[in-house]
Amino acid sequence: MAGLRGATIEEVVAQAWVVPTDEPEADGTLTWDSTTVVLVEVKAAGQTGLGWTYGHASAAHLVNDKLGDLVVGREAADVPAANLAMVRAVRNMGRRGIASTAISAVDIALWDLKARLLDVPLAVLLGKVRDSIPAYGSGGFTTWDDARLREEIGGWTEAGMRAVKIKIGEDAGANVARDLHRTALATRTAGPGIEVFVDANGGYSRGQAARMGAALDNLGVTWFEEPVTSDDLQGLHELRTRLQCDVSTGEYAWCPEDAQRLIEAGAVDCLQADVTRCEGVTGWLRVAALADAAALDVSTHCAPQLSAHVAVAVPNARHIEWFHDHVRLDPMLVEGTLDVVDGTVTPDLSRPGHGMRLRAKPAEPARRVA
């Protein structure tokens, strides 16, 4: 406890970087050509903790202008107290969205810092249920042609991953023929024994999702993510009762209370939660506990490098999402990232915290914007 006892937070600093995608990308309801990453460093007693989120540079401003002041001077040990102070402070500016992402990045940095002050890995501080967690390959953007899709799926299965996920719902459900063509291609490419997941990002109407779901069941798809908008709790619930495949969502749960609404509505078979959105490690662990109490598994959304450390610490984690964009860009910004081995990711117990550091000079084409 020597490093942690009496240590108080001395500094909180956020910065934002934009990383262009390797080619234009789209899912059912969004197109993009870059990702903005907001990174937060917190310092105490000679140690530095690192957290980050993916979103908008305004989250960096919120940390530097407001949230950091609430955290500086607090006991480094008392991460939940800092989390609560931040949550309370954003009430009138809107807790959900940008503020939740900013809180998440600070909270993750604080947990990393606490583990470093104790000189233990973050997974050990949280307490492991298992040593490693399965990862599933995720990307399969609607902008990719068949050859590109085959290439990506081949890479995932070569790495031993047992499930792959592609985007469907192209043009908000206006191109179901291509959705089904690409899903069938993914099934053939992945081969026997590999599960195929699809994510419509809320691109379909209720009726369309029900008809697509039946077709997806026939193709052997096992996971239908956000078949309708995740705001449509009743629609998700009805689909869940009609389809064989698992219905999932949760990536827009900005806090544990949002996750609880999905659980209470019976909207999901497996609850997704994003540690970089749902108020950090503190919020993510609460979401996992809520799901566990409802006998539901959780699956982490995106952010695989941060997710691996929380996913090994709860009994009901099913897998983490090895998301193309983040797998590509995280190593440009931070050093010490983990790889998939035999389809699983294993936190490195030889390094304190989550084991990652902000690079002194992030790699091209990353560019600092705040």
Helices (H), 276-364: 280-293, 304-311, 324-333
Kindly tell me which of 111 and 323 has the beta carbon lying closer to Mg ion: 323
From the list 187-195, 196-204, 212-220, 344-352, the region that binds Mg ion by CB under 5 A is 196-204
The minimum distance between CB 252 and Mg ion, in angstroms, equals 9
Q: Which helix (H) or strand (E) holds 60?
A: helix 58-62
Instruction: Measure the CA–CA gap between 242 and 198, rounded to whole angstroms.
Output: 17
Amino acid identity at 197: F
Strands 133-138 and 344-345 turn out to be: antiparallel
Candidates 194-202, 216-224, 331-339, 360-368; binding stretch for Mg ion (CB under 5 A): 194-202
CB of 342 to Mg ion, least distance (A): 25
Q: Which stretch binds Mg ion (CB under 5 A): 78-86, 162-170, 192-200, 323-331?
A: 192-200
Query: 199 or 330: whose CB is closer to Mg ion?
Result: 199
Contact criterion met (CB below 8 Å) for 135 and 111: no
| Residue whose CB is less far from Mg ion, 121 or 137 | 137
Measured from the CB atom, the residue of 121 and 227 that comes closer to Mg ion is 227
Which residue's CB comes closest to Mg ion? 199
Cα–Cα distance measured from residue 350 to residue 359, given in angstroms and rounded to the nearest whole number: 20
Q: What are phi and psi of 299, to 5 degrees?
A: -135, 135
CA atoms lying within 13 Å on the CB side of residue 108: 35
Q: Which stretch binds Mg ion (CB under 5 A): 46-54, 115-123, 217-225, 280-288?
A: 217-225
- Stretch near Mg ion under the rule CB under 5 A, chosen from 46-54, 178-186, 199-207, 212-220: 199-207
The continuous run of DSSP H or E covering 198 comes out as strand 195-199
Contacts of 33 (CB under 8 A, 6+ apart): 20, 21, 24, 25
Give 112 or 321: the residue with its C-beta nearer to Mg ion. Answer: 321
Please, what is the minimum distance in Å from the beta carbon of residue 91 to Mg ion?
28
What residues between 218 and 247 interact with Mg ion by CB under 5 A? 225
CA–centroid distance for 101 within its chain:
11
Q: How far is the CB of 202 from Mg ion (least distance, A)?
A: 9
Does 274 help bind Mg ion (rule: CB under 5 A)?
no
Q: How far is the CB of 102 from Mg ion (least distance, A)?
A: 21
Q: How far is the CB of 27 from Mg ion (least distance, A)?
A: 7
For Mg ion, the closer of residues 225 and 330 by Cβ is 225
Minimum distance of Mg ion from residue 253's CB (angstroms) = 12
> What CA–CA distance (Å, rounded) separates 115 from 103?
18
Q: How does strand 47-54 pair with strand 133-138?
A: unpaired
By CB under 5 A, name the one of 170, 179, 199, 246 that touches Mg ion: 199
**Closest distance between Mg ion and the C-beta of residue 335, in Å?**
28
What's the token pair of residue 353?
Answer: 């915290």
How many chain residues are in contact with Mg ion, going by CB under 5 A? 2
Q: Which whole-number Å values give the CA distances from 360 to 30, 160, 363, in the listed order?
A: 33, 33, 9
C-alpha to C-alpha distance for 49 and 33, rounded to whole angstroms: 29
Closest distance to Mg ion from the beta carbon of 72 (Å): 35
Considering the complex, state which of residue 195 and residue 225 has its C-beta at the smaller distance from Mg ion.
225
Point out which residues bind Mg ion (CB under 5 A).
Answer: 199, 225
